[in-house]
């Protein structure tokens, strides 16, 4: 176990220092596992990660306990990260840790996931990104395995009209900073990346937008596989042009996020 930072109590509460030496009081709320989680404030980053995990859980994005959500803490220069192994739907605040960009645990007691560089290296080079999601959604994995590009032929696929790049290195886990940096290079300025034979990476300015990017990517891949089974996507639909430009704004993602939060808290299945 890592040494406890100065000011950190055994219950997980304490101080954390940012790059400039400023101190902000931090604490983990301790809701009962399985309790409804309401939309958190920006002052509650651990709960924000928990809520993102719960939305991914109701969307069957788990595999079954692998995958993570991270949230950049711009005040501290660190990262709040879902630890493991926990299924997305069962994550509680005690399953979230605060790490620096080198993966050193600063707050919390759960183990830092081995693939933390997937998050930290993307955050290191993408200043516009506030959250990273890594998961193993089945339809995205299947479509990537075919070698076909993703065609944006629906409103839900609109955020990916510019394409989804591919990372094809034959690695099972992205568990070193070098591999994480390679993933970040392949992601470039895109919203998402296929980790071929593995899963996906999705990013956004917030946990909400990163999670919805992952959700919509999986739904877009599922639609394309359905179309392929019926004869394939018609050529005119393979180049959407500006048809789905309305789907590129974060507001489009957030409307669906709010709905899935309601479904998550009601305990219902959020599948389309």
Residue 249 belongs to some domain of the structure: yes
Whether 9 is in a domain gets the answer no
pLDDT of residue 268: 52
Q: How confident is the model at residue 112 (pLDDT cuts 50, 70, 90)?
A: very high
Q: Kindly name the residue from 115, 175, 218, 258 that is annotated as catalytic.
A: 115
Give residue 246's pLDDT: 76
**Total domain count, the chain:** 1
In a domain, 154, yes or no: yes
Residue 125 lies in a domain: yes
Report yes or no: 61 and 27 within 8 Å, Cβ to Cβ.
Answer: no
Summarize the confidence of residues 161-169 as an average pLDDT. Answer: 95
**2 found inside a domain:** no
Token digits of residue 210: 């990163």
**What percent of the chain stands above pLDDT 90?**
65
pTM: 0.82
Domain encompassing residue 113: 14-266
How much is the average pLDDT of 92-109? 95
Residue 203 backbone phi and psi in degrees, to 5: -130, 160
Tell me, yes or no, whether 104 lies in a domain.
Answer: yes
Domain containing residue 54: CATH number = 3.40.225.10
CA atoms within 13 A on the CB side of 150: 31
| Position 192 pLDDT exceeds 90 | yes
**Is residue 115 annotated as part of the catalytic site, yes or no?**
yes
Higher-pLDDT residue of 243 and 252 is: 252
Evaluate whether residue 271 is within a structural domain: no
């Amino acid at each position: 176990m890592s040494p406890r930072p100065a000011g950190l109590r055994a219950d997980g509460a304490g101080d954390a220092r940012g790059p400039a030496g400023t101190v902000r009081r931090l604490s983990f709320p301790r809701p009962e596992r399985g309790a409804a989680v309401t939309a958190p404030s920006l002052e509650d980053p651990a709960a924000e990660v928990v809520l993102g995990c719960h939305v991914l859980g109701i969307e069957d994005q788990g595999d079954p306990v692998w995958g993570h959500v991270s949230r950049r803490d711009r005040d501290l220069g660190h990262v709040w990260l879902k630890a493991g192994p926990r299924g997305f739907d069962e994550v509680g605040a005690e399953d979230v840790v605060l790490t620096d960009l080198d993966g050193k645990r600063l707050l919390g007691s759960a183990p830092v996931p081995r693939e933390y560089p997937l998050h930290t290296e993307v955050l290191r080079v993408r200043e516009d990104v506030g959250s990273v999601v890594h998961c193993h959604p089945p339809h995205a994995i299947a479509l990537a395995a075919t070698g076909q590009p993703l065609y944006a032929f629906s409103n839900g696929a609109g955020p990916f009209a510019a394409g989804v790049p591919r990372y094809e290195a034959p690695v099972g886990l992205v568990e070193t900073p070098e591999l994480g940096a390679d993933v970040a290079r392949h992601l470039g300025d895109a919203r998402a990346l296929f980790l071929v034979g593995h899963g996906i990476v999705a990013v956004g300015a917030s946990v909400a937008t990163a999670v919805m990017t992952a959700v919509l990517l999986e739904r877009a891949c599922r639609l394309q596989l359905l179309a392929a089974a019926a004869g394939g996507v018609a050529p005119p639909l393979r180049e959407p042009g500006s048809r789905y430009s309305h789907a590129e704004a974060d507001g489009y993602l957030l409307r669906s996020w709010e709905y899935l939060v309601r479904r998550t808290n009601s305990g219902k299945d959020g599948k389309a």
